Amino acid sequence: DVLVNNAGSPVERTSIEECSVELWNRVLATNLTSAFLITRRAIPHLRASGNGAIVNTLSLSVQTGGANGAGPYAAAKGALQVMTRTLARELAPEVRTNAVMPGVIETRHHEVFSTPERMERYRKETPLGRNGQPDEVAAAIVFLASDAAGFLNGALIDINGGRYLR
């Protein structure tokens, strides 16, 4: 059995300094609390399968702090990264918990929260010379959910075309 927590949205851009408590709570509800609630509900079923897998979708903003106005989003995704590692310890050996961390992927998310100029700049900053595609993220998620990743637990796959080599 597999659970993929893939919700993600900055909701709206604002600095942390100017972020209202209401917006902060909406961003956390979308990007963190939803994953917590669904995961908590799924744990008994995943444990019972004896070979469950959870894959959480983080964001490159965990490394960068987010683009201008995406600090609350980055904070929520950073907390989801910590939750991923915590679950990897708490649920093993019955359930493996891993994460993907997409960089700039050409999705509706970036159409709404970015600009064509920024997307072009990201493309130029990426050693592979392009932005990512949704199917590339999906392939990594399928791998982490599969038996081929049976010895991965608490792992993080960066999907950013080398843009942020560590």
pLDDT at 118: 86
Q: Is-contact 107 164, C-beta < 8 A?
A: no
Residue 103 to residue 83: CA distance in whole angstroms: 20
Residue 76 to residue 67: CA distance in whole angstroms: 14
Mean pLDDT split into 10-residue runs, the chain, 166 residues: 93 91 96 98 98 97 84 95 99 99 88 82 92 97 98 97 79
Residue 102 to residue 61: CA distance in whole angstroms: 9
Domain spans of the chain? Answer: 2-159
DSSP state of 5: E
State the first-to-last Cα distance of the chain, in angstroms, to the nearest integer. Answer: 32
pLDDT at 67: 77
CATH architecture of 2-159: 3-Layer(aba) Sandwich (3.40)
pLDDT at 19: 95
Alpha-carbon torsion (86, 91, 93, 97), positive or negative = negative
Q: Give the total residue count for the chain.
A: 166
Spatial CB neighbours of 130, under 8 Å, sequence gap ≥ 6? 123, 161
Q: Is-contact 96 50, C-beta < 8 A?
A: no
Please state whether 129 falls in left (phi above 0), alpha (psi between -120 and 50) or beta: left
Residue 25 to residue 31: CA distance in whole angstroms: 10
Give catalytic residue positions: 73
Query: pTM for this one?
Result: 0.92
pLDDT at 110: 76
